C-alpha cells in the first residue's frame, strides 16, 4: 500500500514538473532574443532547474518516509546510489576531460610560428570530422565577446554529487562503512563531523601554502604537497575504516580542486573579464595564479581517479600500511600525469615514467599476500566445518533474511546459506576472508585467525 501511494505521489509530481517546465520553456522561447532579455531568460532557466531539483528531493524524501524500515528502504538507497554515482561519474568525466584538454592545449600551443602580437599561441586540430583553429590570448582580448563559454558547472556538480554520494554510501551507513569500532570507537555524528571538517581544514592549509611564495617553486611545492597528502592519508586511516579513509582522501583532494575553481579560478576570470570590459588594464598576475591552481588540479586528477576506483578493490585499502599505499599510488599516478604533461610540451625525459611505474609496481608487490601469514594445513577440512564457521560469522549478513542491525538484505546479493553457494564463491571468499581479511566487515562477528586458516586450508585442499 505505501508503495502504491508513493507511486502516485511520484507520478503526480512528475506530471507537474513536465507541465510547469513545458510552459516555462514556452514562455522563455516566446521572449524576443534581444540582449536585454538574455538575463531574464537565464534567470527563468535557473528557476526551472531549481524547481526540478527541489521536486526530485521532495520525491525522494517523501518516498523515504513511506518506506523507512521496510525492505524498500534499502532498494531506495541502492537506486539513490546508482543515480547519484552515475551523475558523479558523468560530471567528473566532463570536468576532468576539460581539465586534460586545456592543459593539453596549453602544452601543445604553437607559440612561435606566425603569432599575432596579442596572442600567446594557437593550435590547429582535427576531431570528429571537423577542423578546429584555436587561439590563446596573452592576457585578454581587447573586447570581451558576448558569447563566452565558462567551464565551471562540471566542477561544481562533480563536487555536489560526490558529496551526496559520500552521504548515501558512507554517512547514512556510518556504523557499517565509516566507523570501525575495533579501530576507533566514535559515534556516527562525530565521524561525519571529522570527515566534513577535514575538507575545510585541508582547504585552509592548502590555500595558506598557495599564498606563500613557495607556490612559484614547483619542486618545493610538490614536496610540501607530498607531506600534506601523507599527513591526511595517515590521519584518515587512524579514524575511519580503510575504505572510508581512502574515499575521504579522494574527496579531500577533490574538494581542493573544486575550491580552486570556485574560490580562485572563476573569481580571477570574472575580475579579468570585468577589467577588460571597463577598459582598464587586466591584472595578468590573476590569470597566472589561476593557471597555477589549475595546474595543481591537473596533477590531482589521476590520484583522485585512483582513489575512486580503489573502493572496489579491497587489496588496496586493507593492508598493514594503507596510508603509505595511498601516498605511493598518489605519487605514482601524479608522476604519470607529469610525464604526460612533459610529453605534450615535447620535453624529453627518461626517468619520470620509469620511476612512476616502478612506484606503482612496488605497491602491487607490497600489497601481495604473504606466504608467512599462512600456517600449514594438517588434516582434511570438511564442508561441514566450513559451513559451521560461515553460519557463525557470515550468516548474520549474507543470508536470505539477514539478522544484522544494519544490513537487511544480503550485501551485494552474496548469500552463503548453502554449501553449494559457499563453494561457488570460493575465490571471492579466499580474497576477502583470508588474503585481505576485509570480511566479515570490520570483523563485526569476531572471526578468529584459526577460522580464517580453516577456510584457507579448505580452499587450498581443493575439491
Q: Which of 48, 359, 433, 459 binds ligand HEC (CB under 6 A)?
A: 433
Judged by CB under 6 A, the stretch of 60-68, 256-264, 368-376, 444-452 that binds ligand HEC is: 444-452
Which of 170, 323 has the CB closer to ligand HEC? 170
Judged by CB under 6 A, the stretch of 11-19, 94-102, 334-342, 426-434 that binds ligand HEC is: 426-434
Residue 400 is a binding residue for ligand HEC (CB under 6 A): no
Task: Copy the grid coordinates of residue 374.
Answer: 599462512
Q: Minimum distance from CB of 232 to ligand HEC (Å)?
A: 23
Nearest to 6, CA basis, from 53, 50, 70, 54: 70
Q: Are the CB atoms for 323 and 236 separated by under 8 Å?
A: yes
Residue 181 is a binding residue for ligand HEC (CB under 6 A): no
Residue 122 is a binding residue for ligand HEC (CB under 6 A): no
Nearest to 386, CA basis, from 443, 424, 412, 438: 424
Residue 394 is a binding residue for ligand HEC (CB under 6 A): yes
Which of 249, 458 has the CB closer to ligand HEC? 458
Residue 440 is a binding residue for ligand HEC (CB under 6 A): yes
Instruction: Return d(Cα 311, Cα 317) in angstroms, integer.
Output: 8
Q: Looking only at residues 363 through 392 of this chain, which bind ligand HEC when binding is defined by CB under 6 A?
A: 390
Which of 336, 406 has the CB closer to ligand HEC? 406
Nearest to 295, CA basis, from 248, 245, 345: 345
Which of 332, 440 has the CB closer to ligand HEC? 440
Residue 264 is a binding residue for ligand HEC (CB under 6 A): no
Residue 439 is a binding residue for ligand HEC (CB under 6 A): yes
Residue 456 is a binding residue for ligand HEC (CB under 6 A): no
Instruction: Return d(Cα 43, Cα 49) in angstroms, integer.
Output: 10
Q: Minimum distance from CB of 181 to ligand HEC (Å)?
A: 12
Q: Which of 74, 175, 396, 421 binds ligand HEC (CB under 6 A)?
A: 396
Judged by CB under 6 A, the stretch of 12-20, 155-163, 230-238, 395-403 that binds ligand HEC is: 395-403
Instruction: Return d(Cα 269, Cα 267) in angstroms, integer.
Output: 5
Q: Which of 28, 336, 411, 453 binds ligand HEC (CB under 6 A)?
A: 411
Instruction: Return d(Cα 88, Cα 412) in angstroms, integer.
Output: 21
In the complex, which residue's CB is closest to ligand HEC?
394
Q: Phi/psi at 388 (nearest 5 deg)?
A: -60, -45
Q: Are the CB atoms for 408 and 444 separated by under 8 Å?
A: no
Task: Copy the grid coordinates of residue 52.
Answer: 526540478
Q: How far is CA 343 from CA 300, 340, 432, 441, 456, in A?
A: 18, 5, 40, 44, 47
Judged by CB under 6 A, the stretch of 178-186, 193-201, 334-342, 428-436 that binds ligand HEC is: 428-436
CA dihedral 28, 30, 32, 38 (to 10 degrees): 0
Nearest to 311, CA basis, from 241, 361, 369, 235: 241
Q: How many residues bind ligand HEC (CB under 6 A)?
A: 23
Instruction: Return d(Cα 287, Cα 271) in angstroms, integer.
Output: 10
Q: How far is CA 177 from CA 95, 242, 389, in A?
A: 28, 9, 23
Residue 315 is a binding residue for ligand HEC (CB under 6 A): no
Q: Which of 359, 447, 454, 459 binds ligand HEC (CB under 6 A)?
A: 447
Residues that bind ligand HEC (CB under 6 A): 390, 393-394, 396-398, 404, 407, 411-412, 414, 416, 425, 428-429, 432-433, 439-441, 444-445, 447
Amino acid at each position: 500500500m505505501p508503495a502504491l501511494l508513493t507511486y502516485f505521489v511520484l507520478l503526480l509530481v512528475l506530471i507537474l514538473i513536465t507541465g510547469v517546465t513545458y510552459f516555462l520553456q514556452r514562455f522563455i522561447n516566446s521572449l524576443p532574443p534581444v540582449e536585454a532579455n538574455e538575463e531574464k531568460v537565464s534567470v527563468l532557466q535557473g528557476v526551472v532547474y531549481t524547481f526540478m531539483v527541489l521536486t526530485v528531493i521532495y520525491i525522494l524524501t517523501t518516498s523515504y518516509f513511506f518506506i523507512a524500515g521496510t525492505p524498500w528502504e534499502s532498494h531506495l538507497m541502492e537506486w539513490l546510489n546508482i543515480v547519484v554515482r552515475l551523475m558523479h561519474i558523468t560530471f567528473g568525466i566532463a570536468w576532468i576531460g576539460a581539465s586534460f584538454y586545456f592543459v593539453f592545449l596549453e602544452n601543445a600551443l604553437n607559440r612561435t610560428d606566425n603569432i599575432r602580437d596579442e596572442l600567446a599561441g594557437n593550435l590547429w586540430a582535427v576531431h570528429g570530422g571537423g577542423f578546429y583553429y584555436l587561439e590563446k590570448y596573452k592576457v585578454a582580448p581587447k573586447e570581451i565577446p558576448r558569447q563566452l563559454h565558462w567551464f565551471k558547472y562540471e566542477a561544481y556538480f562533480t563536487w555536489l554529487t560526490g558529496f551526496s554520494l559520500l552521504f548515501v554510501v558512507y554517512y547514512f551507513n556510518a556504523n557499517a562503512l565509516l566507523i570501525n569500532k575495533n579501530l576507533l570507537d566514535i559515534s556516527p555524528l562525530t565521524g561525519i563531523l571529522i570527515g566534513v571538517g577535514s575538507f575545510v581544514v585541508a582547504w585552509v592549509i592548502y590555500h595558506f601554502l598557495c599564498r606563500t611564495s613557495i607556490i612559484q617553486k614547483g619542486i618545493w611545492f610538490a614536496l610540501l604537497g607530498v607531506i600534506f597528502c601523507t599527513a591526511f592519508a595517515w590521519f584518515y586511516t587512524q579514524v575511519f575504516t580503510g575504505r572510508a579513509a581512502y574515499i575521504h582522501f579522494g574527496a579531500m583532494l577533490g574538494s581542493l580542486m573544486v575550491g580552486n575553481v570556485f574560490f580562485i579560478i572563476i573569481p580571477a576570470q570574472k575580475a579579468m573579464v570585468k577589467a577588460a570590459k571597463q577598459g582598464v588594464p587586466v591584472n595578468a598576475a590573476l590569470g597566472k595564479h589561476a593557471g597555477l591552481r589549475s595546474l595543481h588540479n591537473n596533477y590531482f586528477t589521476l590520484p583522485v581517479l585512483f582513489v575512486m576506483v580503489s573502493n572496489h578493490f579491497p587489496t588496496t585499502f586493507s593492508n598493514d600500511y594503507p596510508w603509505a599505499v595511498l601516498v605511493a599510488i598518489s605519487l605514482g599516478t601524479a608522476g604519470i600525469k607529469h610525464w604526460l604533461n612533459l610529453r605534450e610540451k615535447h620535453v624529453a625525459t627518461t626517468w619520470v615514467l620509469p620511476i612512476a611505474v616502478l612506484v606503482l609496481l612496488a605497491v602491487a608487490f607490497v600489497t601481495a599476500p604473504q606466504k608467512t601469514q599462512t600456517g600449514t594445513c594438517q588434516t582434511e577440512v570438511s564442508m561441514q566445518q566450513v559451513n559451521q564457521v560461515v553460519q557463525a560469522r557470515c550468516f548474520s549478513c549474507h543470508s536470505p533474511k539477514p539478522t544484522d542491525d544494519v544490513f537487511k538484505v544480503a550485501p551485494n546479493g552474496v548469500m552463503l546459506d548453502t554449501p553449494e553457494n559457499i563453494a561457488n564463491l570460493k575465490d571471492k571468499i579466499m580474497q576477502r576472508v583470508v588474503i585481505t581479511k576485509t570480511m566479515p566487515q570490520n570483523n563485526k562477528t569476531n572471526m578468529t585467525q584459526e577460522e580464517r586458516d580453516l577456510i584457507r586450508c579448505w580452499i587450498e585442499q581443493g575439491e
